[in-house]
């Protein structure tokens, strides 16, 4: 893997790259990261897009929902991730209430995310109601990713994390929202926890890429929360999640061994100390 500085890379993934990937029929890979070390591992492995999700609220901060996350929290996590990345596109979630009140406030939040954290793009949840805000941010030169379906910042409105848009009316609204967002200038849309046939329809009707999480195989790309797919989080097992490792067990075993070695006086040994 190249050790070139981020600014020197010519193969960096941009928002334009992901749009072209859709046109070429190349699936887009996206995972979450919230810190420098994890971001570096994902980037070196060749991930296309890193999302600094407000799921940091759950997996990093231990909250039940994403609602408590602040702009300051997200700027901190995003700046850590950006320092670990040389190739991937880094997208940062704007947290709850940092963009819903006025379009002006949304633009200030998005601008801070770009200037203070170094994000390459921002993600906002919602459809038609935020389309004017999206346009204002895009017009200022900041790329925006949309997010439809299960939008976790609205959990207190939904009351549940169940699959969205199973009924005809909500499905039609979601399609309209996707088209509104595309018209407002988003370069891509996350579709979370919706029926696969609906995701297929949305994907076919848009010229920008869709990235699915629990939205089936027909999206232009897929995203998972890295802590979930690495098996760090053993109590979360929705149907859509594929676990690629059992790091919870591996880490726990390693820590048990370390404790045992310290207790026995087996660590450090002769080679592990300075004479």
- Which residue bears the tokens 């046109």? 23
Q: Is residue 54 near ligand KIV by the rule CB under 6 A? A: yes
* Dihedral of the alpha carbons of 164, 173, 128, 29, in degrees to the nearest 10: 50
Collapsing DSSP states into helix, strand and coil, what is residue 91? strand
163 within 8 A of 192, measured Cβ to Cβ: no
Neighbours of 201 (CB within 10 A): 16
- Compare residues 169 and 235 and give the one whose CB is closer to ligand KIV: 235
- The answer, yes or no, to whether the previous bond of 2 is cis (omega within 30 of 0) is no
> Contact with ligand KIV (CB under 6 A): which of 28, 47, 49, 53?
53
Q: Is residue 182 near ligand KIV by the rule CB under 6 A? A: no
Residues 232-251 that bind ligand KIV (CB under 6 A): none
Neighbours of 240 (CB within 10 A): 16
- Compare residues 157 and 264 and give the one whose CB is closer to ligand KIV: 157
Q: Is residue 213 near ligand KIV by the rule CB under 6 A? A: yes
Residue nearest to ligand KIV (CB): 53
- In 3D, which of 137, 151, 181 has the Cα closest to residue 55? 151
Site string for ligand KIV, 23-52 (x = CB under 6 A): ---------x------------------x-
The CB-of-108 to ligand KIV minimum distance in angstroms stands at: 21
Binding footprint of ligand KIV on the chain (CB under 6 A): 32, 51, 53-55, 93, 190, 192, 213, 223, 225
């Amino acid at each position: 893997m190249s050790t070139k500085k981020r600014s020197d890379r010519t193969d960096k993934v941009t928002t334009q790259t992901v749009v072209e990937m859709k046109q070429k029929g190349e699936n887009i890979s996206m995972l979450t990261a919230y810190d420098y070390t994890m971001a570096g591992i994902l980037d070196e492995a060749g991930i296309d897009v890193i999302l600094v999700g407000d799921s940091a609220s759950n997996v990093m901060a231990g909250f039940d929902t994403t609602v408590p996350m602040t702009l300051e929290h997200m700027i901190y996590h995003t700046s850590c991730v950006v320092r670990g990345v040389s190739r991937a596109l880094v997208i940062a979630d704007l947290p709850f209430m940092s963009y819903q009140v006025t379009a002006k406030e949304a633009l200030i939040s998005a601008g801070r995310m770009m200037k203070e954290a170094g994000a390459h793009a921002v993600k906002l949840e919602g459809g038609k109601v935020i389309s004017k805000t999206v346009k204002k941010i895009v017009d200022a030169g900041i790329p925006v990713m949309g997010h439809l379906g299960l939008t976790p910042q609205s959990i207190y409105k939904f009351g549940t994390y169940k699959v969205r848009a199973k009924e005809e009316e909500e499905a039609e609204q979601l399609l309209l929202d996707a088209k509104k967002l595309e018209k407002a200038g988003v370069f891509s849309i996350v579709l979370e926890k919706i029926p696969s046939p609906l995701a297929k329809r949305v994907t076919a009707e848009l010229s920008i890429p869709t990235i699915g999480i629990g939205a089936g195989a027909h999206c232009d790309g897929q995203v998972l929360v890295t802590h979930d797919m690495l098996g760090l989080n053993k109590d979360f097992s929705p149907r859509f999640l594929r676990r690629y490792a059992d790091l919870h067990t591996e880490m726990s075993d390693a820590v048990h061994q370390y404790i045992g070695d310290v207790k026995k006086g087996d660590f450090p040994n002769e080679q592990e100390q300075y004479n």
